[in-house]
Structures are given as C-alpha cells and as structure tokens.
Amino acid sequence: MSVQVFGLPVSRGVAIGRAVLVASSRVDVAHYFIEPEQTGAELRRLKKARDQVCREFEALKLDVQGDAPAELVALLDVHLMLLNDDLLAGATCQWIEERQYNAEWAVAAQLETLSRQFDEMEDEYLRERKADLEQVAERLIETLARGGQSVGVRASLGAAADDVPLVLVANDISPADMMQFKGGVFRGFVTDVGGRTSHTAIVARSLDIPAVVGARDASRIIRQDDWIIIDGDAGLVIVDPSPMILEEYRFRQRQGQLERDRLARLRHRPAVSLDGQRIELLANIELPTDAPAALEAGAEGVGLFRSEFLFMNRGGRLPDEDEQHAAYAAAVTTMRGLPVTIRTIDIGADKPLDRMTLSELRHEHSLNPAMGLRAIRWSLADPGMFTVQLRAILRAAALGPVRLLVPMISHPGEIRATFEAIERARAQLRREQLPCGDVKIGAMIEVPAAALMLPLFLRHFDFVSLGTNDLIQYTLAIDRADESVAHLYDPWHPAVLGLVSTTIRAARAAGREVCVCGEMAGDMEFTELLLALGLRSFSMHPSQLPGIKQRILRTEIPALEALADQVLTSDDPRAAWLAGRARTVQPAPVPVA
C-alpha cells in the first residue's frame, strides 16, 4: 500500500528509485562502495571479522562457565547462533556481492532489515531478541572497523548499481558524508531531520538532485529496496507508489528536463535587466572539480569557494600547504582569468571536522556549536593551521584574480588579528621567495553585529558578502538545522530584510563591492526584491544560475525600487511585496538565443 511522508522541500525536482537506508547505530558505520573486483577481498574481510568475534564469544564462554548463571552461557550461545545464522551472515554477503557495499555497511543494512522483521513478530520473547541481534551486529561492525585498512572509497560512485536508480534515506547525513556521494549514484536524498538552510540541504542543492529533509520518521517507515518518489518541490516522499502515480511523476521528470534544457540556452547571454543594468552572476563551489560546472553554467566567476570541504573526510589529517595550494590553483586556472573568491575555513556547527581532529583540538563537546568556536574564531585559535591556509591562498593568487573572504567576523579585534595573520603569511612567502599574489580581502556579513557596525568594516575591507543563511539564523535566534523550529526560519522577517537592505545600500554608498552568496541569492522569490534594494552581484550554485538569469532578463528595476521602500516598512513584507508587484510588474517575454 502506498504511503506518503511529508517533510521540507530543499532541492527541487523529482527523483524515483529504490531506497538505500543508512541505518543509525550506536557505533559509527563507514558507508562506501567497493569496486567489483574487490568483492572477494571484502568477503574475506567480513569472514575474518566474524571468525574473530566467534573466537571472542567462545573464549568468554570458557571464562564464565562455573562462575556465571547458566542464562549468561545460554545468551552467548544465542549470540553465536545469530552470528553464524544465514539470515545475518549469508544475507550480508549478498549486500556485498550484489550492491558492492563495504562490509560495515552491509552488516548495518542487514541489521536494519532483520530489525523490522523482529518488530513485527507477535511473540514478545522473540521481539526482545532484537536487542541480541543489535549487540552481535555492532560487535561485528566494531571488529571490522579496527581489523585493518578499509578497501577505500570508490573514486567515482557512478558505476554502482547502474541499472537500478537509488535514493538515499537516513536519519541525517552530514555535509562531509554527502560529499562522499558526489558522483552520481544517488538520484535523491531523504532525511528525518534538518532544515531548509542546513548545510546538508545546501550540499543537496549543490548536487542538483531532489531532496526532502525534516521528514520525521522516514527512515523507519521506508524499508531497504522500497520504490519511492521524492517530490523536491512539495516536500513529499511517496513510498511504494501505484503505477498511475509513478507514471505521473515520470512525466514530471521529463517536463523538468525539458525546462532545464531550455534555460541552458541562456548560459552565454549577459545578465542585463530590461532597463539596461548589468548584473554579475557568480557561482558557489565546494571543490575545485566544481569549477568546470560553474563555467558551463555561464558564471562570471566564483563568488564562494567553501574551502572547508578540503578538510573533511580525512581521518583527522589536515591538508598541508602544497595540497591546499594545488586545490586553489586548480580552481583559479580552470576559471580562465575570472575572479575566484576563497572563503577561509568555516568549520563548526553542522560542519565539524573528523572526530580525531576535533578531539585533538578539544572542541568536540561544545554545548552550542553554532555559537561556539567556529569559522574565523576557530582559525585565529589555531594560528599554525590558519597560516598554512593563508599561504596556500596567497600562492594561488599569483596565478589569477583571487579574493579572500573571512567568515563570521564580528569584532574589531578579529579584524586586526585577521589582517595581521595575512600580513605575516605574505611576509613569510616573500622571505622564502615564493610566488605571492595580491588579493582583495572581504568580510562575510552573517552576524548582526557585523551588519550594525558596517561603517567600520567598510573602512578595512575591499568588499563584503552577505551570508544570508547564518544572518537569518543569528538574527532570529533559530538553529537552521533544527526541524522543530524550521517554521520560524523566515527570510522575509522585517529585521532580516532591514539588515540586508542596510548592508547593500551602505556598501554601495561607500563604493565597496557587495554580493549575496547565501541561499537568498539563488531563490527566485527574492531576485527582484534584491535588485530593487540595490544588489548587483549574486552568487549561487551553478544549477540555479539559468533560472535567476531568466528572472533578471525579465525585470525592469526602476519600477520596483519605490515598492522596495514600502516593503521595508511593512509588518508583513512578503504580502506587501507580492501585492505591490502584482500592481507594478507586467510579465515580459524573454527570447531564447
């Protein structure tokens, strides 16, 4: 029977495929695909771990016999039986052979399947054996994790299950984990938790695939291998759809592809409004390998290179200067003389580093990561790491135009310390006679304090970038990754629009460049309003560029400027904007070249 699950729409479009569940567990589970030729080695690794656990259980039986109750020995026998039962052992091998799952993932997937079967048993005693199964599976996973080197993550995940479309279902997916899947295996994502502008949602949009977050019990309702539909426009997940519903959504998929093909023809057309104003459209990227997509989409440069993704999924080992320089240099050279804005590492909150690194830096147990040691605070607290990154960026700037962007800066002391760190790095490179380019230095305006003291910032920085995601979060005191308060996250809030407007107008009055690189930049609902407020530079994921460009080509900015002032003084800005726009704007056709 078909079931509908509702959540928050965070990445548009329709995905249809079989569910792959990433089971939550009390132990960390590595999830990666193996190459087909590695199947035999992975099966041997699983057998070795299972034999080791068997030996541990047998040794424990010998140790406790005579001193312990007979029930404990019987329980160990049950665990041994479960460990060798074909429902666990044999089926786990199937996940490895048929899906190319790594051994830990295969055990977790089969545990999820068997747990559901135990939950449906009528006999209470048999239902309670689920806890024994979980203990055995987790012991096996732990043994696998410490039993030797992993086979390794497939460089390109696109070869897995080519004939079966897959969608990923989980309680939550960290941005780092999502980056591991950046290769085309999964057609969509569904998570139980998360908000529209959590970094998980942002990365989902960067993959340009449909996603629904905050779907509550999705990972418990959906079973391994269920056929599901993800409606990324409505925030709807349909489990086991009927043939009629399936065909309707397949038609919508085809229509969506036709629309993307039509918009793609605008990529080489300049973004000029109807009244002749040229608008700069830039791209946000996570890795240097994203730069070609930015060029292909018609971006005029990179407005935000999120450098923190170079630091993730590394087992606690930070990238050295040469590795970082190679990554930044690759992005700069790929963009062929167009500007590249590199944001210094923005670690913290919902983008932690690997556990080893956090533990080493003793930042793992922050009570409120969003308010804690993150972004520029984290960098200034680790000057050695920060210097390495600054040196790598300055070296890359010798190859093309680079702008350096500082995240979450809010104190005059942080401004001074940041410029001193940049100058120290530059002086070191000069002493060592290494190439060092000039960079424009900018500040992210994402803390209300920064917006309120903007004149001070404009005296020091060459440009400013509005990070609207965090600006909304900190202005409204809302954790943007928490679905329980997601309904309060409101880009239309009068206080938010007031700070955005003040920043844009003050920067332009001071002759400083200003860009919006947060989610508002790629949301067509805000394009005309931001233009009316004076914004002339937008940065977004490459997939959003064609739609935003089309909206700009259809906009006559002067007609909206007076309306913007009315919106800023309204108690309900969104309603005021929509009503005023309906009276003011007549749709204009845009010929497609």
pLDDT of residue 501: 97
CB-based burial label for 427 (10 Å; 0-12, 13-18, 19+): exposed
DSSP 3-state of 444: strand
* CA separation, residue 320 to residues 127, 327, 389, 484 (Å): 51, 11, 8, 39
CA proximity to 168, closest of 111, 115, 209, 123: 209
Name the active-site residue from 199, 325, 363, 541. 199
151 confidence band (pLDDT: 50, 70, 90) = very low
CATH of 265-584, picked from 3.20.20.60, 3.40.50.720, 3.30.460.10, 3.30.565.10, is 3.20.20.60
Secondary structure of 61-117 in the HEC alphabet? HHHHCCCCCHHHHHHHHHHHHHHHCCCCHHHHHHHHHHHCECHHHHHHHHHHHHHHH
Q: Which two tokens stand for residue 492?
A: 């239309």
User: For position 181, what pLDDT does the model report?
Assistant: 62
Place 505 in a pLDDT band, splitting at 50, 70 and 90: very high
Q: Is the pLDDT of residue 357 over 70?
A: no
Question: Which candidate in 93, 436, 515, 517 is catalytic?
Answer: 517
Residue 210: name the closest of 244, 269, 252 by CA: 252
Catalytic residue status for 436: no
How would residue 156 be classed by pLDDT, with cut points 50, 70 and 90? very low
pLDDT on residue 90? 86
Q: One fold for both 3-23+154-261 and 265-584?
A: no
Average confidence (pLDDT) over 472-498: 85
pLDDT for 216 equals: 84
Provide the pLDDT for residue 413. Answer: 96
517 catalytic per annotation: yes
Q: pLDDT class for 66, splitting at 50, 70, 90? A: low
SS3 assignment, position 15: strand
Residue 590's pLDDT is: 53
Mean pLDDT of 3-19: 90
Query: What CA–CA distance (Å, rounded) separates 59 from 65?
Result: 10
Query: What's the mean pLDDT when you consider all of the chain?
Result: 84
Q: How confident is the model at residue 359 (pLDDT cuts 50, 70, 90)?
A: very low
More confident residue, 415 or 148: 415
Q: What is the average pLDDT across 214-218?
A: 87
Give the pLDDT score at 358.
Answer: 35
Tell me: the pLDDT tens digits for 390-446? 999 999 999 999 999 999 999 999 999 999 999 999 999 999 999 999 999 999 999
Domain 3-23+154-261 grouped into CATH 3.40.50.10470: no
- Second CATH level (architecture) for the domain 36-146: Orthogonal Bundle (1.10)
Q: Regarding beta strands 463-466 and 227-231, do their DSSP bridges make them parallel or antiparallel, or are they unpaired? A: unpaired
Question: Domain coordinates of the chain in residue numbers?
Answer: 3-23+154-261, 36-146, 265-584
